[in-house]
Amino acid sequence: MTDMPTAPSPRPALEEWHLAVVEAFDVEPRLRRVVFTADTLDQLDYRPGQALVLRMPLPEGGTGRRDYTIRWLDREAKRLAIDFVLHGSTPAPSWARTAQPGDTLLAHGPRGRNVIAPDADWHLFCIDETGMPALLHMLERVPADTIVHALIETASEQGETPIETAATLTCRWLARDDVPAGPNGLVLEALRALPLPAGRGQAYLMGETSNVRSWRHHLAQSGMPKTAIASEGYWRPGRIGGHDHVDD
């Protein structure tokens, strides 16, 4: 008897959230927080570091998909916050700049693979400012004395946000000094100078795709197993929405 070909199992549909803006304010000059509510938010189950796909209004009409990290969720109050980097006049920051209480957005999710690996001996974050909401939320939740190293690219020193964590954190801030964001060697140079601790490590790489790829290649060449390197290109010059899996 021959096996019948089986259809690939469909991806489970992402849950849908009808978000309404409660308030919006600048956390820093280049970062705007939007707090949302929805009747069903008490049912949102996610892990810190995961994101929602927002249906962002486009200037030409209709909506486009943009991924944004859940910065925090208060299930009891049915409130959720998202931090938008104000990098330009593209759809997402333009929407965030003018968001008013009562404005609505459709969201799907949660999704994303960049979540804390509980069994690692140490953790390494290499990010630019788009990975900051994930880092802040993930580090809020790690147990005391978790060993964490972080290399963080920011636009300027103003982006050096206080990090609330019980972890033993060694952090290096790398300001671009208002050079536009994009492919650069800032984090890579710092990473080359960082001796990796002994034991089993886990890396979380989030930022501009070609930078993420260079960090991943360096870590792999330094002997880190590729399975211990979670790497996602969160944006790239010329790319519209979506993200790049960096697996090579």
Please give the full DSSP string across 95-156, using - where no structure is assigned: HHHH--TT-EEEEEEEE-S----TT-SEEEEEE-GGGHHHHHHHHHHSPTT-EEEEEEEESS
Q: Which two tokens stand for residue 81?
A: 């916050």
The reply on whether position 68 binds ligand FAD by CB under 6 A is: yes
**Cβ proximity to ligand FAD, 123 vs 129, nearer residue:** 129
The reply on whether position 243 binds ligand FAD by CB under 6 A is: yes
The reply on whether position 112 binds ligand FAD by CB under 6 A is: yes
The reply on whether position 51 binds ligand FAD by CB under 6 A is: yes
The reply on whether position 33 binds ligand FAD by CB under 6 A is: no
Closest CA to 21 of 131, 97, 76, 91: 97
The reply on whether position 138 binds ligand FAD by CB under 6 A is: no
Q: Choose the binding region for ligand FAD from 73-81, 115-123, 195-203, 232-240 (rule: CB under 6 A).
A: 232-240
Mode of pairing for the β-strands spanning 201-208 and 122-127: parallel
Distances (CA, A) of 237 to 106, 181, 233: 26, 9, 11
**Cβ proximity to ligand FAD, 28 vs 232, nearer residue:** 232
The reply on whether position 237 binds ligand FAD by CB under 6 A is: yes
Let me know how many helices (H) and strands (E) the chain has, helices first.
4, 13
How many amino acids of this chain bind ligand FAD (CB under 6 A)? Answer: 28
Chain residues that interact with ligand FAD, rule: CB under 6 A: 51, 56, 66-69, 83-85, 87-88, 90-93, 112, 130, 133, 181, 232, 234-235, 237-241, 243
